Structure 1
Amino acid sequence: MTNEASLGRVLEELGTTLLDVVCGDAKRSGDVGGVVIYDPLDEPELPANALVLGVGLHDPADLARVVTQLGAYGAAALVVRAPVAPDEELAAAARESGVAVLAFARGASWTHLAGMLRSLTADSGPDDAHTLGRIRSGDLFAVANSIAALLDAPVTIEDRNSRLVAFSSRQEATDPSRVQTILGRQVPEQYTRILEERGVFQAIYRSERPVFVAPLPVSDDAAQPPLPRTAIAVRAGDEILGTIWVIVPEPMSEERSQALYEAAQLVAMHMVWQRADADMERQLRAELVSTALQSGPGSLEAVRRLGLRDEPAVVLALTVVESAAEHALPAQLAAERKRLADAFAMHLTAAHPRAAAALIGDVAYGILPLLQEERAVLVATEFLARVGSRLRPLVGVGQLARDSSALARSRSGAERALRVLRSGSVSRQVALLDDVHVDALLIELADLVPRGDIPSGAVARIVAYDRENQTSLIETLRAWLDHFGDVAEASAAMYVHPNTFRYRLRRAAEVGRVDLKDADARLAAMLQLRLMKITDPGF
């Protein structure tokens, strides 16, 4: 399998709207080997000809040092946020190292850039891979450029939700809304709202032919007026997959309209193939990750096929649950899990080029080659800080696996930590098993207790008395145990006078017939109270 795109093709496809060459050789031969985020605190581990995203790098002196460092690892280019003013030191470092320096447009998302770069540099498959219209199946950037060349106009391909799928070159000659679409990889909300209000989408979806869209109304102080467009729906039978948008000054001639109509059919085939290919790839990756995490006979081969090595790694488990403010249908939960799993895989790969992740059931598992569990917690925390979700994503982190034979134990640890997070017994969203080990043990102990066996003994007697007499003796006992017998702190937590608290505590001991000076009696009561909270969260 070979990668599809060289550095030259990446620049050609994304154009100056997103990336611009600052210095260095942008025509470097060889396919891009991968996309990696630079971390100044870690020794870089790069595939050959890597594209390195220098998030946060801006000082020219730092850039020159990093470029020299990346040259020793065979990187192809360093991408940094614009504007970048190249001095002699940076230019010399780029020339001597062979690492090009690229400026990434302000306002655009690093996550979106990483996604587009990975789409362009994805493995193309065997030499006899399918082609549609002389273009490798699913390569929508190449399709967009072909349509742009055919119509002599800049083109974007969008999905049904107005998310940018691919775009052609020459976008610098367009209007602000098109530039914002490319930078954000999504049509701005104000423009989609206007299109919906004017019935533009309905007209496009009803028609099988291209539809001319007049310029959108904008404020009088707009720096540049919007340009008219022609759009056509992309269909697969009765299903609308997306749209093609072409910036043109006037309605197209019949000949050009026919060309766009035929192009839409070609785009539909590519989008269907891309979707099917993505589903097959997800399924294969899920099977490989599942096999690797079992640490069974076939795990070493699965690890090898995932691009991993027999090396130390940490397993992470991600899922999403309903938040207190949101209620989601099962289909919405499934869609959100799939979306977050894709973003999780991208984030882990950015953290380490050999990371692997896949959605298995309702949990996305990640295998992250690292030497420290704490580093995996940091990676997971950064992911949750960056990803947006209406629901509540949770990540459990397992113990360090010294080699692939220990991945099953790390997976079990990640699942146990994730179960603690799902139970709500801790308020955090990321947990390392070592930090919630006692909570995990209590949950597992609760599984072993037959229904109806809790509460029992002294605690059962106090609970029964409270229910019969509308008292709160069990809460008094719980507060006293939680505060290590400190009456002042326990009474303050219950907002009662210390003397009142002492009276209630004595009454609880009398009703329960329990000696609170006995360490075993205290342990039994505390354990039962914890198990009751797990089995009945409202208790």
Structure 2
Amino acid sequence: MITVPGVVDRMGPTLLRTVHAAGPALAVTDVVIAETVKRTPVSAGDLVLGVAVGTTADAVELVRHCAAHGAAAVLLKPPHAARTAVRTAAQKAGTALVEVHSATAWAQLVWLLRSVLDAAADEATDALNPGPFGDLFRLADAAAAVVDAPVTVEDANSRVLAYSARQDRTDSARVSTIMGRRVPDDVLARFRSRGVFRELSRGRTAIFVPAQKDGTLPRLIVPVRMGGELLGSMWAVVPGPVTDERAAAFADIAPVVALHLLRRRAREDTDRGRSAELVRSVLEGTGSARLVAAELDLADEPHRVVAIDAQSDDPLAEGVRLALLERLTEGVGRRPAVADLHGVLYAIVPDTDGRGGWRALREALAELAGPLAAAGGSVPVNDLARSRAEADEALSLLRAGLVTGPVAAHDEVWTVLVLHRTAVVSTGAGVAHVGPLAYLRSREDADWYLDTLYEWLRHPGDPRAAAAALTIHPNTLRYRMARITAAVDVDLGDPNTRLALLIQLIALRWG
């Protein structure tokens, strides 16, 4: 169990500040985003984020609404949390009021708060099953006490797993790291240019990085290893050079952190395996959509299945694919809804603009020169098998080069889908083997005839566009069409004839 003061302590004064502490502290159970004050469903023990609060009156109304439903605390950004009317409402209602740092993004705060709640749940599990590892946040506090400096614990991909108190004594790079739960790219580039990560990979016990010209304070960095594998690292923001004794004491904590990271990995692997089996079953149409939605915390809203091509010759594509999906699906429920089926990685994502949603995933995939990816249609959770089939179909068009990649959505490429399905059916029916087209195909210069006729039919009444598609002069197009009409006895003025020829040519090109 964790209370509001416990959450504020874990998050630290860099992000949260208690404006009014309620009487008996309630156990925090969940994080709720109040996008509309009156209609926000609030339950006992919720931390309610005033995302849509625009006025003092809105803030007062939200506080009263949350108090009536037993919320643990209301979180507001400046200046609302400090308003006298809001503080008075919180005091009368007996609800805790917490101020959020103005620069904190609400989406990042939700992520951070849920991480703290998850860590508290792990701590409760540890209390029932005692072990030598302890809680990672407590270990960060212990490491901070040893080195007398604020500490973060990061994994091998520079994502923040835990951090100590006293982060208000750090620099802007550390604040950005904690708020984003990973080291920003520009900060990573600066440390990489100084050879920090090269030194980490070489097995140094402790690395000191002096202050930088941009205002970044000195760092003492200790790699976290087990069996020769780099699992992560501990970063302390120090005022200056650290004595050998203190650096050695800081490094002595690394083996304990390594044990915790190994246990965390084992638990995540188990959860990921369970999630993957659930996702596979629902995508194949054999599992319970209701069970998958409950297990993976999928909201009752439209979702898409996104298929990412794992069959790539590029040795870097696999790593890019996995890293991207892990980062983007962290905001979808408590577990990423991801599974690998027959060499294709599938992700179930909400059809929204938010973090972890389809649009965010699409933008990230488009920015990366990574593997091909296609999304099925937007469907209810109980119809995910259909969205998976549509994602597969769109992915096949990308692989065949019929759709320009690297990302496509099934509902946006419907014209290509219609033509492709028509071509497949027509090919099976042998339509390309009848009529005058059969004669044109038998000629040695068949490609010349077929390409010209195809573009002429695709651009009716527009010889310039047809010529441009063939990269020839319009007069050359007219000369070629005269040769074609002379070679076959066909009335190209008849609309049915033109339609039949176009279907035949589509079958040849797309089938």
- Normalising by the smaller structure, the TM-score range is 0.7 to 0.9
CA contact (8 A) 2:219 2:236 kept: yes
1:218 aligned onto 2:206: no
* Deviation for aligned residue 1:264: 0.5
1:389 aligned onto 2:368: yes
The number of equivalent residue pairs is: 502
Task: Report the residue type matching 2:454 in the other structure.
Answer: R
Residue identity (%): 30
1:413 aligned onto 2:382: no
CA contact (8 A) 1:417 1:433 kept: yes
Alignment of 1:38-117 (within 5 A): 39=35, 44=40, 49-51=45-47, 59-64=55-60, 76-77=72-73, 86-92=82-88, 94=90, 96=93, 98=95, 100-106=97-103, 112-117=108-113
Q: 1:197 to 1:251 in 2, by over 3 A?
A: same
Matched position secondary structure for 2:376 = strand
1:159 aligned onto 2:155: yes
Q: 1:233 to 1:497 in 2, by over 3 A?
A: closer
Q: State the alpha-carbon separation in 2 of the partners of residues 52 and 424 from structure 1.
A: 48
* Deviation for aligned residue 1:233: 1.6
Q: State the alpha-carbon separation in 1 of the partners of residues 198 and 252 from structure 2.
A: 21
CA contact (8 A) 1:159 1:243 kept: yes
CA contact (8 A) 1:51 1:77 kept: yes
CA contact (8 A) 2:424 2:507 kept: no
Task: Report the residue type matching 1:364 in the other structure.
Answer: Y
1:398 aligned onto 2:394: no
* Deviation for aligned residue 1:530: 3.4
1:13 aligned onto 2:3: no
Could you tell me which residue of structure 2 aligns to residue 334 of structure 1? Answer: 318
Larger RCO (CA within 8 A; separation ≥ 6): 1
* Deviation for aligned residue 1:61: 4.8
Matched position secondary structure for 2:377 = strand
1:360 aligned onto 2:340: yes
Please report the TM-score for the alignment, with normalisation by the length of structure 2: 0.77
Could you tell me which residue of structure 1 aligns to residue 506 of structure 2? Answer: 530
CA contact (8 A) 2:151 2:236 kept: yes
Q: State the alpha-carbon separation in 1 of the partners of residues 394 and 24 from structure 2.
A: 48
1:268 corresponds to which of 258, 267, 271? 258
* Deviation for aligned residue 1:163: 3.8
Alignment of 1:164-179 (within 5 A): 164-179=160-175
Q: State the alpha-carbon separation in 2 of the partners of residues 26 and 416 from structure 1.
A: 58
Q: 1:46 to 1:375 in 2, by over 3 A?
A: farther
Task: Report the residue type matching 1:481 in the other structure.
Answer: L
CA contact (8 A) 1:7 1:27 kept: no
Task: Report the residue type matching 2:30 in the other structure.
Answer: G
CA contact (8 A) 1:7 1:26 kept: no
Q: State the alpha-carbon separation in 1 of the partners of residues 288 and 275 from structure 2.
A: 14
Q: What per-residue deviation string (whole Å, max 9, x for no partner) do you get for residues 33-63 of structure 1?
A: 24x5555699656776444556676554555
Alignment of 1:97-496 (within 5 A): 98=95, 100-106=97-103, 112-122=108-118, 124=121, 127=125, 131-133=130-132, 135=134, 139-187=135-183, 192=188, 195-196=191-192, 198-203=194-199, 206=202, 209-211=205-207, 213=208, 215-218=210-213, 222=215, 227-249=217-239, 256-296=246-286, 301-307=291-297, 314-320=302-308, 330-349=314-333, 357-361=337-341, 362-366=344-348, 368=350, 379-385=357-363, 389-391=368-370, 394-398=373-377, 400-401=379-380, 404=382, 406-420=383-397, 423-427=400-404, 433-437=410-414, 439-440=416-417, 442-443=419-420, 456-457=433-434, 458-459=436-437, 461-462=439-440, 468=445, 471=448, 473-485=449-461, 490=466
Residue segments in structure 2 that go unaligned for 5+ positions in a row = none
Q: 1:516 to 1:53 in 2, by over 3 A?
A: farther
Q: What per-residue deviation string (whole Å, max 9, x for no partner) do you get for residues 287-310 of structure 1?
A: 11222334436555455444569x
- The CA RMSD measured in Å over matched residues stands at 4.6
Matched position secondary structure for 2:492 = coil
Q: 1:227 to 1:363 in 2, by over 3 A?
A: closer
* Deviation for aligned residue 1:282: 1.1
